[in-house]
Amino acid sequence: MGKHSRPGPPNQPSRAVPSVGGGDRFAAYDKRRRAPVDVWRRHRPLHGGGSHLRPGEPRVLEEWNGFSYEPVGTARNLAQAQQWVNESNEGSA
């Protein structure tokens, strides 16, 4: 079996996107407005660096607005930031 025929990790969503349909004039536009890999909320360290480093430092909370990520708040530490991201996942499921 070649290296390109292996399936991706089972714990990640599929990166396949629907093809652009001929009947919908705005299909290509809608496809570009999807959040990258369907991540609607994310957090970043306030002072840069890897998100797993220094878990006690503050984080910037960002939400996808249909065009780009925009800051919507801050969290005191990594645990609070992860809780905020997971709240979004629980509400949509």
Residue 57 lies in a domain: yes
pLDDT of residue 2: 52
Residue 61 lies in a domain: yes
pLDDT of residue 79: 93
Number of domains in the chain: 1
Residue 55 lies in a domain: yes
Residue 20 lies in a domain: no
pLDDT of residue 8: 60
Q: pLDDT tens digits, residue range 15-39?
A: 555 555 567 777 777 767 776 777 8
DSSP structure class, residue 83: H
Torsions phi, psi of 27, nearest 5?
-60, -45
Query: What is the C-alpha separation between 20 and 28, in angstroms, rounded?
Result: 6
- Give the C-alpha distances (Å, rounded to integers) separating 17 from 12, 20, 27: 14, 9, 11
Q: Which two tokens stand for residue 91?
A: 């509400």
Residue 19 lies in a domain: no
Residue 40 lies in a domain: yes
Residue 12 lies in a domain: no
Structure-model confidence comparison of residues 81 and 2, the more confident one: 81
| Alpha helices (H) along 3-77 | 27-32
| Range(s) of the domain holding residue 61 | 31-93
Q: Considering the entire predicted model, what is its pTM?
A: 0.60
